[in-house]
């Protein structure tokens, strides 16, 4: 575990692992004009219950870093360092090592130093095999380079970046469906070629490195980014659009990954009914200048992530059916977004 953590350390990290506090040399910030620190904290939610059910713990760390660090890049910030927290009913050293090793691997992929963490044993509060994970990260961005709604203009293109699957949201619904229909996580899932547990534990795709590279190469062409997590596609895109603007996301431009279709089929529900819960194949959205859309798509696909245009930012009165739009989210009074059309049958965005 220590070797994995140390592999995320550059010369900026002082003191190594095990101190009461992690130390990070911020001298590089002195050369910035107006450095702003960006912070984020999150957990993985009930996805950990599946990891516990099949005793597989080496991918949860990727989910944690995806939930925490990928929120920082939304404002255009470069992550600097991260800390983690693991609460468990009983410490099993190999299990903790697996979790932390996964966190460290993902930190390395996002250019984030893992400078410390805490493992707390809570007997009586958590069962011996129960645990939860959380993390917090800090990044930095120049004040005049912040991405957000104030940069968005009518006519901007909305570009989708494909997800790797469920990522880390909507697992209470997933677990409800699986349990209600008598499926065991150890059962073979013919649709996926693995067990149900392994399919559902597919790690969250990490977007930080390719997005930072995109921002560096595209500059002013990137206006806003949205991380599609809890709340789904419409709500999260609405958070980064300015008031008075709206966008329609065209479902016909992609086909949700098989995991979403299989779960919906088993539950006897439509894909549209879970749009406020699952990402349905889109992990990130980029709002970009219309004349840079094709360049953005090409750049993201070069990084191995499917990308395609799903809509355009508009202003003025909402079209008919205005009550179908989601207006802002999580306290942000932003733009309005709704999904339109029917999902494509051919696989895209996987």
Q: What is the pLDDT of residues 187-208, one digit of tens each?
A: 999 889 999 999 999 999 999 9
Tokens of 54: 């099949």
Closest CA to 70 of 13, 22, 109, 25: 109
Residue 328 has pLDDT above 80, yes or no: no
Q: What's the whole-number mean pLDDT along residues 78-106?
A: 96
Q: Is it the case that residue 348 has pLDDT exceeding 60?
A: no
- More reliable by pLDDT, 20 or 297: 297
What is the reported pLDDT for 349? 42
- The structure's pTM equals 0.94
Which tokens hold the place of 28?
A: 């590089």
**How much is the pLDDT for 265?**
94
Q: What is the mean pLDDT of residues 248-276?
A: 95
The two tokens of residue 238 are 């609405």
pLDDT of residue 347: 47
Q: Is the pLDDT of residue 68 over 80?
A: yes
pLDDT of residue 350: 41
- Which phi and psi (to 5°) does residue 181 adopt? -105, 20
Across 40-61, average pLDDT:
96
What is the CATH number assigned to the segment(s) 2-15+27-145? 3.30.1330.10
Specify the pLDDT at position 31.
Answer: 93
Strands 245-250 and 332-340: parallel
* Per-domain residue ranges of the chain: 2-15+27-145, 149-340
* CATH of the domain spanning 149-340, picked from 3.10.180.10, 3.40.50.620, 3.30.300.20, 3.90.650.10: 3.90.650.10
pLDDT at position 346? 55
């Amino acid at each position: 575990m220590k070797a994995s953590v140390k592999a995320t350390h550059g010369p900026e990290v002082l003191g190594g692992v095990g101190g009461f506090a992690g130390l990070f040399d911020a001298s590089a910030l002195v050369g910035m004009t107006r450095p702003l620190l960006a912070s984020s904290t999150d957990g993985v939610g009930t996805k950990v219950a599946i990891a516990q059910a099949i005793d597989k713990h080496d991918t949860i760390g990727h989910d944690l870093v995806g939930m925490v660090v990928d929120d920082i890049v939304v404002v255009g910030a470069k992550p600097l360092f991260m800390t983690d927290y693991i609460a468990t009913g009983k410490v099993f050293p190999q299990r903790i090592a697996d979790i932390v090793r996964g966190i460290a691997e993902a930190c390395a992929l996002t250019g984030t130093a893992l400078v410390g963490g805490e493992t707390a044993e809570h007997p009586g509060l958590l069962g011996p095999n129960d645990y939860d994970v959380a993390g917090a990260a800090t990044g930095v961005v120049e004040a005049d380079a912040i991405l957000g709604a104030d940069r968005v203009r009518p006519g901007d293109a909305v570009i989708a970046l494909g997800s790797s699957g469920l990522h880390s949201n909507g697992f209470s619904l997933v677990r409800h469906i699986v349990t209600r229909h008598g499926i065991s996580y150890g059962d073979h899932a013919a649709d996926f070629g693995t067990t149900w547990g392994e399919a559902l534990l597919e790690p969250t795709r990490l977007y930080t490195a390719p997005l930072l590279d995109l921002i560096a190469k595209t500059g002013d062409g990137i206006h806003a980014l949205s991380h599609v997590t809890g709340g789904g596609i419409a709500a999260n895109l609405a958070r980064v659009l300015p008031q008075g603007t709206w966008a329609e996301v065209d479902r016909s431009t992609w086909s949700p990954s098989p995991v979403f279709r299989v779960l919906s089929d088993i539950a006897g529900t439509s894909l549209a009914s879970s749009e406020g819960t699952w990402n349905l194949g889109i992990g990130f959205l980029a709002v970009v200048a219309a004349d840079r859309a094709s360049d953005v798509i090409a750049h993201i696909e070069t990084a191995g992530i499917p990308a395609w245009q799903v809509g355009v930012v508009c202003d003025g009165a909402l079209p008919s059916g205005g009550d179908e739009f989601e207006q802002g989210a999580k306290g942000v009074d932003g733009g309005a977004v709704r999904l339109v059309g029917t999902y494509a049958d051919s696989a895209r965005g996987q």
